[in-house]
Structure formats: structure tokens, C-alpha cells
Amino acid sequence: MNAKDRKTVLRVHWAWNNEKEESWLARMARDGWHLTAPRGFFYRFEKGEPADVVYRMDYQSPGKFERKDYLGLFKDAGWEHIGEFSNWYYFRTKAGDGPAPEIHTDPESKIAMYRRLLGLLAIITVVVWAPLVTSIGDHRHPHGLWHTIRGIQVAALFLMVYAVVRIALKIGRIKKNRRQQESK
């Protein structure tokens, strides 16, 4: 395979928007670009025959011994494991005639995935927030690089809080949809 049959695409993936990312990956496959390796914000693709496939992403942190069982469940259900990055697992399967298959077939499993994400974001937020709070009023470094670092910390903190809010709202929508389905 030559270089023109491979490409790497830089794309920011927001945790609360994984459905959008899955749709984009499916469009890439319909255009003949098939995901071979997700690496953070970088996606590696290989050129091939256009295909109608469904991509799904799952946020999981299985232990060493559970990982084999976890991936085995997906394989048994017809999903191909494409790769993973930072506890995001990428799967694909051929699209059928009906609705696109889901890996989270019930609201509880989808809520559990987003709660795992919230746990990680809570830890990251504390890691970003703690040094910021402990340095309030510290004037030993009055300018220059110190202000830049503080600015980056503040921006990261706002992004983390925004992400937590977006994911919490997503969990709320899933719960609301579940209640509506149960009342029918």
C-alpha cells in the first residue's frame, strides 16, 4: 500500500458527542476511507472499497484479565475491534437494512458509560483545580510565564467543568427518554 492510500486526520473528539464521531467515521467508510488506528485526536485511515459500516465507541476501563472477555463479547456479537485510545474502544460492523446496531442496548449501560467518563473528568478537574486554588494570592511570580501557566490552568478548568455539565445533561436526556419509553 502506498502513501496516497493512507492518511491521518486530526479531529477533536468531545466525550459528550461520540454519536457525531461515529457518524463521521461511517461517512469516511462510505467514501472508501477505513479507520485503522485511533490515536487521540489523530485518526489513521486506509483507502479501500467504499462500504456501508456502522462505527461505535465505548468508554471502558477493563482490567488486564477482563479486557479479553470484554473484546470477546463484541467479537461474538459481530463487532470488529478497530483500536483504542485513552479507554475509548472503537468497533465497527457492516450496516444492515434496519436501524444501525447499538453496543449499548439499554439506557442503563449507556448511562454507566457516561458515569465512568464523569468519574475520570472529576479526577482531572481536581488535578487542574487544586494547584490553581493553592496558588491564589501567591505573588512570588508576578508576570511572564506564570501568567501564561495560570491562563492555561483556568482555560482547562473551564473546559473540564463544561464537559462535566454536557455529560451530566446527556445522562439526564437518556433518563428522560427512558421514563418516556416506560410510560408508553
Of 68, 94, 120, the last residue of a domain is: 94
For the residues 20-38, what does the mean pLDDT come to?
Answer: 96
Q: Is the pLDDT of residue 157 over 70?
A: yes
- In this structure, is residue 74 part of a structural domain? yes
Q: Which residues contact 124 (CB under 8 A, 6 or more apart)?
A: 160
Cα–Cα dist 165/173, whole Å: 12
Cα–Cα dist 169/91, whole Å: 25
- In this structure, is residue 99 part of a structural domain? no
- Per-residue cell: 156: 482547562
Q: What is the pLDDT of residues 89-137, one digit of tens each?
A: 999 999 988 888 889 889 999 999 999 888 888 888 887 777 766 665 5
Segments forming the whole domain that contains residue 21: 3-94
Q: Are strands 33-39 and 6-10 parallel, antiparallel or unpaired?
A: unpaired
Q: Is the pLDDT of residue 46 over 80?
A: yes
Of 94, 117, 146, the last residue of a domain is: 94
CB-based contact 22:35 (threshold 8 Å): no
- In this structure, is residue 16 part of a structural domain? yes
- In this structure, is residue 21 part of a structural domain? yes
Residue 155 and residue 124 share a domain: yes
- Per-residue cell: 95: 450496516
pLDDT score of 65: 63
For the residues 19-47, what does the mean pLDDT come to?
Answer: 94
Quote the pTM value: 0.83
Residue 120 and residue 76 share a domain: no
Could you give the percent of the chain with pLDDT greater than 70?
89
- In this structure, is residue 123 part of a structural domain? yes
Residue 113 and residue 85 share a domain: no
* Number of structural domains the chain divides into: 2
